[in-house]
């Protein structure tokens, strides 16, 4: 039976998951890409490198993120978040790096060793230039499920 997810279940899924698909578009160009993220109850945080995704989100900051839990074709849950892309600097950047580092250290520990190693657009000591840390300011969340 197809149903809508409650706000509590939506927030639980966003908190427990760390992988989703980010959709962004500008002009006639549309992109959907897999991303890792962190949800802190208010924003979705992520990091990426300069490229097509960042170019599109800078041109049009309206984005969406979709997160799934799929057991079978007739037993699944899905959440879609609509929001606005914001690149982070200053205290917001420090907060995001600390939270992302704590949650996802195994995924990108080689890129971010500590805040002391962050300077400008390059994580020093890693040779990883142009890393962008961002958040999505959530405007709307919805979720659906099928459980037969």
Please write the tens of the pLDDT for every residue from 29-63: 999 999 999 999 999 999 988 999 999 999 999 99
DSSP structural state of residue 41? S
% of the chain with per-residue pLDDT over 90 = 68
Measure Cα distances from 139 to 73, 87, 106, 136, 148 in Å. Answer: 29, 17, 30, 9, 31
Measure Cα distances from 144 to 61, 68, 89, 109 in Å. Answer: 25, 10, 35, 34
Contacts of 34 (CB under 8 A, 6+ apart): 19, 20, 21, 22
Q: Above 80 in pLDDT, residue 109?
A: no
Query: Residue 57 belongs to what H/E stretch?
Result: helix 52-59
Q: What pLDDT, on a 0 to 100 scale, did the predictor assign at position 78?
A: 98
Whether residue 63 contacts residue 136, with contact meaning beta carbons closer than 8 Å, is answered with yes
Give the mean model confidence (pLDDT) for residues 112-131.
Answer: 47
| Phi/psi of residue 27, nearest 5 degrees | 60, -125
CATH code for residues 2-147? 2.30.110.10
What residue ranges do the domains of the chain occupy?
2-147
Compute the mean pLDDT over every residue in the chain, rounded to the nearest whole number: 85
pTM over 0.85: no
Q: What pLDDT, on a 0 to 100 scale, did the predictor assign at position 104?
A: 56
Give the mean model confidence (pLDDT) for residues 4-23.
Answer: 96
Q: Above 70 in pLDDT, residue 10?
A: yes
């Amino acid at each position: 039976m197809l149903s809508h997810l409650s706000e509590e279940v939506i927030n639980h899924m966003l908190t427990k998951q760390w992988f989703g698909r980010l959709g962004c578009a500008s002009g006639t160009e549309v992109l959907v890409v897999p991303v890792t993220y962190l949800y802190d109850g208010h924003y979705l945080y992520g990091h990426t490198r300069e490229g097509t995704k960042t170019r599109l989100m800078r041109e049009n900051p309206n984005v969406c993120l979709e997160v799934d839990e799929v057991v079978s074709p007739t037993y699944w849950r899905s959440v879609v978040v609509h929001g606005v892309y914001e690149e982070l600097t200053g205290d917001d950047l420090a907060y995001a790096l600390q939270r992302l580092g704590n949650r996802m250290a195994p995924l990108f520990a080689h890129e971010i060793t500590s805040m002391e190693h962050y300077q400008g657009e390059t994580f020093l000591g890693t040779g990883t230039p142009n890393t962008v840390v961002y958040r999505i300011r959530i405007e709307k969340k919805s979720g659906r499920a099928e459980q037969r």
